[in-house]
Structures are given as C-alpha cells and as structure tokens.
Structure 1
Amino acid sequence: MTTTRFPRSVYGMGAEPDPRFSLANERTFLAWNRTALALIAGGVALEALGLDLQPGFRLAASLVLVAAGLAVPVLAWVEWARTERALRASAALPGSATSVLLAITVVLVAVLVLFGILWR
C-alpha cells in the first residue's frame, strides 16, 4: 500500500487492483471530461450563433448546457474516486450519478429548444 500518490483518500487504502480496471476507470473519467467540454461548447454555440429561437429559451438552454458542463467534471472526479476505492477494496462498484445528470440535462435542453422554436 502506498500513500505517496494523489489523492491519498483513494490510493491510501486497499490493495492495488488489476491495472486494466484502474485504467478503464481513468478512461471513463476522461470520457466524462470530453462530454463536459462538448456541453460547454454546445451551450456557447447555441447562444453565439443566435439561432432563430425565442431568445429567453435559447439563453436558458445555453445556461443549462454550460452549467452541466461545469458540474460533470466534478461529479466525474467523485465517481472516479468512489470506483477506484471500490476496486481497491474488492467491493461492488457504485452507480453513476453523472449519467442521471446528463440524461436530465439533455431532456431539459430539448424541452427548452422545443419551446424556443414554438414561441419564436
């Protein structure tokens, strides 16, 4: 067991898991960060392009996308740490709250864009 790696709250416990599982966990974390970048880019583009949508709904959809883009990396970090701790403890893997946030975001943005089209 090593305590010199960051974060100690993750690497300071349990035994080293199979590297394939830790690397898969890291790839998932990086994928969530790419998703966050796409959410932010989509929010900026939606507002910057000035699409023919009702401006209030367009702005609201943009803000939801950017806010989700800010929240996803934080949740991804928390989930990475929870999963890595579970791997190190040979415990059951935790569920994903980030997936739920993303699903809610997509539905909310779709509704806002739909209203923006209908009330332009």
Structure 2
Amino acid sequence: MSEHPDRRFPRSVFRQGSEPDVRFSLANERTFLAWTRTALALIAGGVALEALALDMYAPLRLAASLVLIITGILLPIIAWVEWSRVERAMRLGRPLPHPPTGIVLALAVVASGVLVLLAVLR
C-alpha cells in the first residue's frame, strides 16, 4: 500500500514533481542521518572538552567547546534544509543544489582546533 504524497512530511517537498528513484531518496536520507550523527559527535566533543577540565587556558577551552556544541546544534537544521533542497531538486529533475554542510563543518573544526591549540600554548 503506497502512502499518499499529501500525507508525507514535509508537504512542501513531497507535493513537488514526481517520485525519483527510491535509491536516490534513500541515499539522500542516509546523508541527512550521517550529518546528524556528526552533530551528535560535535556536541559530545564539546561537552567532553569542557567537562574534563584539561590543563589549558580555560577561556579558550570554553570557546572551543562552545563552537563545537553550537555547530552540533545547528548542523542537523542545516542538514534538514539540505535534504529538502536535494529531494525537491530530484523530484523536479533539476541539478542538485550546492550543499552548505561541508563548509559549515570545516569552519567549525578549524575554529575549534585553533582555539584548542592556542589554549594549549598559553
């Protein structure tokens, strides 16, 4: 029994175009779930960095922790938007949009890494 497109969430995606190959939709969903797991790891890393109270300059350690935790909070939201944009593009037969998640993650990792390095050196 097939689920009617009007009952699937988000309707703004599933009311568009035609059903793409299910393999592509499932790959898109797996990518979203991978970004969500990455976000969980960022949050855990940020909490651990602060909870362990390592012998490094505390304000910079806290800043690095906050970068990781805030990125971990924002990443699933960005990944959801990306999932929606990709799914909509596939349904409409359009080119896939540029994904913003990679650059967000890269910037956060660089920023937190620099903060930790400075905290260790201080």
TM bucket (normalised to shorter chain) is over 0.9
Deviation at 1:111, TM superposition (A): 0.5
Aligned to 1:56: 59
1:45 to 31, 48, 61: 48
| Number of residue pairs matched by the alignment | 119
> Normalized against structure 2, the TM-score is what?
0.95
- Classify the secondary structure of the residue corresponding to 1:6: coil
- The alpha-carbon deviation at position 2 of structure 1 amounts to 2.3
Letter in 2 for 1:27: R
Asked if residue 17 in structure 1 is aligned to residue 7 in structure 2, the reply is: no
Alignment partner for residue 106 of structure 1, among 93, 109, 117?
A: 109
CA RMSD in angstroms comes to 0.9
| 1:6 paired residue among 5, 9, 14 | 9
Deviations 1:35-62 (A, max 9, x none): 0000000000000001111000000000
% identical aligned pairs: 61
Letter in 1 for 2:17: G
Q: Distance in 1 between matches of 2:114 and 2:55?
A: 16
Q: CA deviation at 1:27?
A: 0.0
Q: Does 1:67 align with 2:79?
A: no
Candidates 97, 113, 118, aligned match of 1:115 = 118
Q: Give the residue type in structure 2 aligned to 1:20.
A: R
Runs of 4+ in 1 over 4 A off after TM superposition: none
The within-5 A match list for 1:82-93 is 82-93=85-96
1:34 is matched with 37
Q: Which runs of 5+ in 1 are unaligned?
A: none
